[in-house]
Homo-oligomer: A and B are copies of this chain.
């Protein structure tokens, strides 16, 4: 199995775009491994570091990529099935980063208040995969790793790995996890896939801005759906069809997600659009993936058990 490692420091990907040389090439149908650094480039190993030296924008959240998918052409859709994710360090990092997070003034929601203090926590992960909090006497949190960042190159833009968008990117959606398939748009030859930002655990919304950040090695299988352009990332699990919208304000993220989910139900599953809209109002599930990044991400989910009966077997 091909093993794709993060490039050397000077070649790390801090934008998702078409301007970096591919670090690996994969075939449609191929299963391969990708190793990722954590969002801080694995540079935090002590609670006493000065975060202002570690976090120097835009050099945050290094991704492993670009990975060139043979045969992928603009207008196709890339289907990435996530397999097992191994956490490759015995601790996770969480932080409070001044002027970043959901409940403080930020570079976007600018306020004159004094920033919150910085804070670093190292969370030991034991052999059974439980995450510990050395400061709090709570029961440990089970590690359920997923990728915060996965995306394909836009046609000509190069987008910070801190931002989610129509290309995927830093969605921080816990649905990008083992067993699920992510659909991403192909905008350039080879698709140019980037992966990073492993999370051992994360609450909905990632409210303080940082999850339990870990380096990983993950297994992926890519497939191409030729000539079937999608307009925003989708995810499919055993139980759900999901569309992910990333925008500000948050309601626009939800609108993008629901609009696409309804369009998907109409195009592939036989629903009338208005009927799908009304049915989603009764059965949809919504996840707020992040309320902290450059754009907020919202996942709209349709339970597959409510697909029209003739459609339930086939899947996408």
Contacts of A205 in B (CB 8 A): 254, 258, 284, 286, 300
Query: Complex: how many Å from CA A280 to CA B203?
Result: 6
CB-CB under 8 A from A307, the residues of chain B are: 138
**Cα–Cα distance between A246 and B151 once the two chains are bound (Å):** 25
Are A281 and B112 also in contact (CB < 8 A) when A102-B258, A298-B288, A306-B139 are?
no
A274 B201 Cβ-Cβ under 8 A:
no
Contact B156 A158 (CB under 8 A): yes
Check: A159 CB closer than 8 A to any chain B CB: yes
- Chain B residues positioned under 8 Å from A147 (CB to CB): none
Nearest-neighbour CB distance to chain B for A85, whole angstroms, equals 17
| Residue A54, interface by CB 8 Å | no
Please encode chain A, from 93 to 119, with 1 for each CB lying within 8 Å of some chain B CB and 0 for all others.
Answer: 010100001111101111111111101
From B103, B112, B202, B249, A282 is in contact (CB under 8 Å) with: B202
User: Which chain B residue lies CB-closest to A131?
Assistant: B282
Tell which of A2-10, A11-19, A30-38, A45-53 binds the partner: A11-19
The verdict on A25 contacting chain B, using a C-beta distance below 8 Å, is no
The chain B residue with its CB closest to the CB of A310 is B137
A58 close to chain B: CB less than 8 A: yes
Q: Which residues in B have their C-beta under 8 angstroms from that of A273?
A: 112
Contacts of A259 in B (CB 8 A): 103, 110-112
Chain A stretch 221-265: residues in CB contact (< 8 A) with chain B: 231, 245, 247-252, 254-256, 258-260, 262
Known: A137-B308, A247-B108, A287-B286. Is A208-B277 also a contact (CB below 8 A)? yes
Task: Look across to chain B and name the residue whose beta carbon is closest to the beta carbon of A247.
Answer: B108
Q: Identify which of residues 269-316 in chain A touch chain B, using a CB-to-CB cut-off of 8 Å.
A: 271, 273-275, 277-288, 291, 296, 298, 300, 305-310
Which residues of A58-91 are within 8 A (CB) of B? Answer: 58
Most buried by B among A94, A249, A310: A249
Which residues on B sit within 8 Å (CB–CB) of A139? 305-306, 309
Q: Which chain B residue lies CB-closest to A250? A: B250
Tell me whether A160 is interfacial, beta carbon within 8 Å: yes
Across-interface contacts of A186 in B (CB, < 8 A): none
Contact between B154 and A119 (Cβ–Cβ < 8 Å)?
A: no
**For A280, what are the chain B residues with a Cβ–Cβ distance below 8 Å?**
203, 207-208
Complex: chain B residue closest to A256, CB-CB: B110
